[in-house]
Structure 1
Amino acid sequence: MRSYDYLIVGGGMVAANAVKGIRERDEQGTIGILTEEPNGPVTRPALSKLLWTDPDFTYDKIWMTPEEDDGTTLHTDSRVTAIDRDKGQVTTQDGQHWGYGKLLLATGCAPIRLELPESERVRYYRNVSDFDAIKKIAGEGRHIVVVGGSYIGTEMAAALVQNDCRVTLVHTEEVLGSAMFEPALASRFHQRFVDNGVMLLGGRKVTGGREENGSVTVELDDGSTIEADAAVLGLGVEPAVDFVAEAGIEVDDGIVVNERLTTSDANIFAAGDVARYPDPLLGSNRAEHVDNANRMGAAVGRIMAGSDEQYAHTPFFYSMIFDMKWRAVGTLDSTMAVIEDAPNGPERAIYYYLEGERVKGVLLYNVEAEKLDDARAVLADDAPQSAETLIGRIEVV
């Protein structure tokens, strides 16, 4: 059995940042990373954004290399299947045992799948192998069907149509983005896709499909089908907690941790997409966003190595689609009351999402990132809010 002072399960952005955090406090401790993927961490957002849309952002820029730290060893193709808390060790699918002093669970999330087997032409889009597969097919006017109207689906539809693909986007809303944006903004969002050549097929769900003779057939809930050269599916994700729950660690739509990112076992920590933590502004929260992976990953590394800090950051999330860029904190739900502040026109605006008289989410639409702390201050304000108190509160230049 090989042992490490710090053992990290999961090889994503959290793992890379945790190594940096550990090294801020402990220069000598040994660190091991076990990841079931064939490669180490990458900057995951680039897989649906910059690698497709920015010619200056090249493939070599996605890689994160925590193994370049002299005391850190990366073990790829190593899927953890069990934790033995009494012995302080984990087991991988090949039967090997790995000991730990402190254990970090950064298992992330797994894509939701349909009865449509994954292949080189069918990708439940999440990792670098998915990018590699679709990149080989994209271009020359090939038809790619994208399934899902949330972050991955909309970003990939926009990316592919800008890379000489014919794109059909299947989503459940009548107006794309209407679950998150107020009606006027959702309408503009929807129209951007239409104007850029994406075929939008709303109000539909994919029920299954098949692949044969070099093409993919996607089956819809109304009985119709779509034939394409490839399918990209972004149906959401589920936290990867199976072997964690079996070890008796508390889970609840993620691995439950306290403000020090510690699980119900004092020697086991969790961070990133999979961690449900007490956000000081949002309450119990699980954040599947890069800002959280960066900040929480570094914090949990320092905490594991002896820091007395608590994780008190409220992360932002963002998307970049065509000429639209937005950042947000909190909850974006169009069924809430939404107040728009657009003093210079609708293409640069702030949207406040209210539950009663309390702001629960702030959307910065084409507004600079420097205003995010102002948005957090609005979320922290427990005084009654209305259009009168919110319009002009955050300056829109």
Structure 2
Amino acid sequence: MQRHDYLIIGGGMVAANAVNGIREHDDRGSIAILGAEPDGPVTRPALSKKLWTDPEFTYDRIWMSPEQDEHTTLYTDTRVESINRDEKTVTTASGEVHGYGRLLLATGGTVVTLDDLPAGDRVLYFRTVRDYDRLRELSGGQRHIVVVGGSYIGTEIAAALVQNDTRVTLIYPEEVLGSKMFPKSLASRFHQTYLDQGVRLLGGRSVDNGQVHGDSITLALDDGSTLEAEAVVFGLGVTPNVALAEQAGLEVDDGVVVNERLQTRDEAIFAAGDIARYPDRILGRQRIEHVDHANQSGTTVGHIMAGSQERYDHTPYFYSTVFDMAYKAVGALDSSLETVEDWATPQQQGVVYYLKDGRVKGVLQLNMDPDKLDKARAVLADTSPQSEETLKGRIGIA
């Protein structure tokens, strides 16, 4: 058995940031990362954004290097099967046992898949660097690729592909692309931008199943029609990997429940990133899957595991960039809520506030400087009733 001062289950961005956080307080404690994927941590957002659209952002820049010293070891292709809290050990699928002083659960999420269409060379459930590599091989040359999903990954991949000499069909459940998140006017612009860029939009549809035939795939849609393409890419979201925590008897509720120090009911076990259900100081208890949370919660939990007395008091933002639309947001983006729009130029630069019962629940900033995000957090933290009169002009747009 190998014993480590700090043991991290999960080899993603949270793990890499946690190592950095630990090393700010402890430069010699032994750290081991047990990652199930074949590769080490990468800056995952680049897989659907910058690697496709920024020629100066090269492939080598995606890799993170948590194994930064002789006291840190990264294990890839290593899946943990169980946690023994009494013995403070974990056991891997190959039977190896690792002991820990403090344990971090950073297991992330598993992509949602269709039962009747398993992943393969031409069926990608986009998540990993291997998925990016394969999609690069399949794209270009005006090949036809179908993208399924109208949320962050689906819209980003569709935009990335069409800007890289690929014919794209985007299938999504709502009639107007973006209408679940954006108010009507902004959703209309979002939708039209994809059409203007040459993306074929099939709204109100879903994929039932498909069949691969050599170098092509035939997809069967829910309306009885079929669609031929060279490949299909799914972006249907993820489910949090909480089975280990549940098996270990930790509290689980749509994620691993932690306190303001990202600590579970077991004082030696912590959770951060996608799986952590934590008490946000502004938004209340949340589980957030975006990169800012992975970075900030990873670093903070590293500090705490190494002895810091701090709390995780950051309210994360999330963002997406497609074509000429770069938006950042804090809180809930739900178009069923009341919205107040404050534009410098119509649907080009401005702020959208999302309200429920007079309280601001979310703030979206389109094509604005990131230094305005703290102002968005301040609006969310304000518990007084708000209206169009009190909100317009509150966050400077210029």
TM class by shorter-chain length? Answer: over 0.9
Corresponding residue for 1:227? 228
Counterpart Cα distance in 1 of 2:130 and 2:5 = 31
- 1:55 & 1:46 partners in 2: Cα distance? 12
TM, length-normalised to structure 2: 0.99
Distance 2:369 2:314 in 1: 19
- Give the superposition deviation at 1:69: 2.4
Is this contact kept in 1: 2:189–2:347, CA < 8 A?
Answer: no
Specify the SS of the correspondent of 1:354.
strand
Q: SS at the partner of 1:119?
A: coil
**Partner of 2:268 in structure 1?**
267
Aligned ranges 1:1-397 → 2 under 5 Å: 1-114=1-114, 115-397=116-398
Question: Could you report, residue by residue, the CA deviation over 1:268-310 in whole angstroms, capped at 9, with x for unpaired residues?
Answer: 0000011000001110101111111111000000000100001
Letter of the 2:109 counterpart:
C
What is the one-letter code of the residue matched to 1:330?
G
Instruction: For residue 25 of structure 1, give the secondary structure of its aligned residue in structure 2.
Output: coil
Contact 1:12 1:106 survives alignment (8 Å): yes
8 Å contact 1:42–1:63 — kept in the other structure?
yes
Per-residue CA deviations over 1:176-206 (Å, capped at 9, x if unaligned) read 0000000000000000100000000000111
Q: Deviations over 1:327-367 (max 9, x none)?
A: 00000000000000113433101000000110000000111
Q: Give the share of equivalent positions with the same residue, in percent.
A: 62
Return 195-204 or 63-72, whichever deviates more.
63-72
| Counterparts of 1:161 and 1:95, CA distance in 2 | 46
Q: How many residues in Structure 1 have an aligned counterpart in Structure 2?
A: 397
212-221 vs 38-47, greater mean Cα deviation: 212-221
What is the rounded CA distance, in whole Å, between the counterparts of 2:5 and 2:213 in structure 1?
49
Unpaired segments of 5 or more residues in structure 1?
Answer: none
SS in 2 for 1:362: strand
Give the superposed CA RMSD: 0.8
**CA distance in structure 1 between the partners assigned to 2:150 and 2:218 by the alignment:** 19
* Contact in 2 for aligned 1:120/1:134 (Cα 8 Å): no
Tell me the SS of whatever aligns to 2:67. Answer: helix
Q: Give how far 1:70 is off.
A: 2.4
| Contact 2:11 2:106 (8 Å CA) reproduced | yes
- Contact 2:185–2:347 (8 Å) recurs in 1: no
Q: Aligned partners of 1:338 and 1:99: how far apart in 2?
A: 51
Give the gaps of 5 or more residues in structure 2. none
State the secondary structure of the residue aligned to 1:66.
coil
Q: Is the 8 A contact 2:278 2:286 kept in 1?
A: yes
Q: Once superposed, which parts of structure 1, at least 4 consecutive aligned residues long, lie more than 6 Å away?
A: none
User: Which amino acid is 1:105 matched to?
Assistant: L
The answer (yes or no) to whether the contact 2:176–2:187 under 8 Å persists in 1 is: yes
In structure 2, the residue corresponding to 1:6 is in which secondary structure?
Answer: strand
Match of 1:181, SS? coil
Q: Distance in 2 between matches of 1:243 and 1:223?
A: 40
